[in-house]
Amino acid sequence: MSEKTTLDRRFFMKGAGATALFGSAMAGGLAVPATTNAKGMGHTSMSMAYDLNEEFNRIGSGDSKWDGVRRRARPHDVPFPMGVADMDFRTLPHITEALMKRMGHQNWGYQPAPADFYDNIIAWNAKRYDQTVKPGSILNAHGVLDGCLSILKLHNTNGAPVLIQTPGYSGFFSVVRNAQFSSLENPLVLNDGRWEMDLETMGKQIDEHDVKVMLFCNPQNPTGNCWSPEEMRAMGDLCISKGVLVISDEIHCDFVNKHATYTPYATLGEKYAQSSYTLKSTSKSFNLAAQHVAYLFSDNQKMIDDLKKSGHQRGSLNALGMIACNAAYKHGATYMDDMQAYIDGNCHFLEKYCAEEMKDVKYKVHEGTYLAFIDCTRVAKKLGGPNGEQRVGDLLQRFFIEKAGVNLNPGENYGKNGAGYMRMNLATTHKKLHGALNAMKAAIDAI
């Protein structure tokens, strides 16, 4: 099927109904819309096959980002929910086609992964990142954190604290708690607008607490770092020398801005690949979080075999999730390229807007993920700072919701050194981003 000619345009018509979707899929295919020129605000225009400027309405679907936050914020309206890390774009039409075709069968007996499921995972990583993933090394997971939980249970046998670089993904803290361990924060150091590793402190922490496992994020959520090979080798050498396993969450790997490069941790060399696991998912890249499908792998086959023996047995996942993932990796290269270019434009617009219009907020274009970690310290000071036990981030979150209708995630969710920062999701349309920033500016100016 030709990607540019055989997908039905109805999948890009705003408000297309379920009946039209079903009928189109069953009739034999969809077609990618004609090429659209989508201009990044204040950034270089880009030629795109997918109309990411479409104002796709998500309200009423019951999702966490739009409906969930609006329920929690009542009586305040939240026209700009920019917290939960999912995207506001219509999904890749090939995914919808594959799902609707399967739904038309109307029988839901046991179903394994599609025959080419693992081949497409391997091909995606090989073509885009020159990473060799061995077929027998891949294990399914309901999500990246599901995989992390199994790994922690297997490897953290001494019950020591689990090392997390902070600011770091908030889900790491919850999965460590679920595994019934404690977290140990290794603070990153801010240097000229970029967060850097503090390996000297890390080494001391490993020795003092007898650390055996580290949760690593690459690209890093929420700082946006795409760690360089040199940075990761230095960290990896330290971990290997002290017997620390690296669990590398690389779920954001497909979102890399134009000036940056993502390097998979396991490609640094054999010793790094043998002493680590890698976890990935289409849930971020193609907005499939609700489908609960992810995977993990390692070059260390003994670790993979031991993980299966220890109870991580996910031979098959939700049938629709596996079908969606497979369609994404088979047909989603152009869509992903367009997404990267579009979000890169959003990043540059945010930087320009903060520098010229909203100077109480600091932001420098980050390297990877679609999440911006913005410095709102000056705003917090204008507000008089938090009272009592309240966190700075909670003060800022309430202020932006109530005065601007913008939801952001408090920086402290990602570690103690996130205080004063807020995480902003840029995986939305240029129009929504501009509207959110104008509302934030007006709220700040009115303090």
Helix intervals (H) in 17-67:
18-27
380-399 mean pLDDT: 91
310-333 mean pLDDT: 94
pLDDT tens string 35-46: 333 333 433 345
Residue 161 has pLDDT above 70, yes or no: yes
| Residues contacting 259, CB < 8 A, separation 6+ | 365, 367
Residue 2 has pLDDT above 90, yes or no: no
What is the fold, at CATH topology level, of the domain defined by 117-331? Aspartate Aminotransferase; domain 2 (3.40.640)
What's the pLDDT score for residue 154?
A: 97
| Residues contacting 64, CB < 8 A, separation 6+ | 84, 86
pLDDT tens string 174-201: 999 999 999 999 999 999 889 999 999 9
What's the pLDDT score for residue 47?
A: 59
Lowest mean pLDDT among 102-111, 250-259, 310-319: 310-319
What's the pLDDT score for residue 119?
A: 98
What's the pLDDT score for residue 58?
A: 85
Tell me whether residue 243 is exposed, middle or buried, using C-beta atoms within 10 angstroms of its C-beta: 0 to 12, 13 to 18, 19 or more. Answer: exposed
Residue 18 has pLDDT above 80, yes or no: no
What CATH number is given for 35-92+332-447 in this structure? 3.90.1150.10
- In angstroms, the CA 299 to CA 275 distance is 8
Residue type, 176: V
> What is the domain partition of the chain in residue ranges?
35-92+332-447, 117-331
What's the whole-number average pLDDT of the chain? Answer: 90
364-375 mean pLDDT: 98
Residue 15 has pLDDT above 50, yes or no: no
Maximum distance among all alpha carbons in the chain? 64
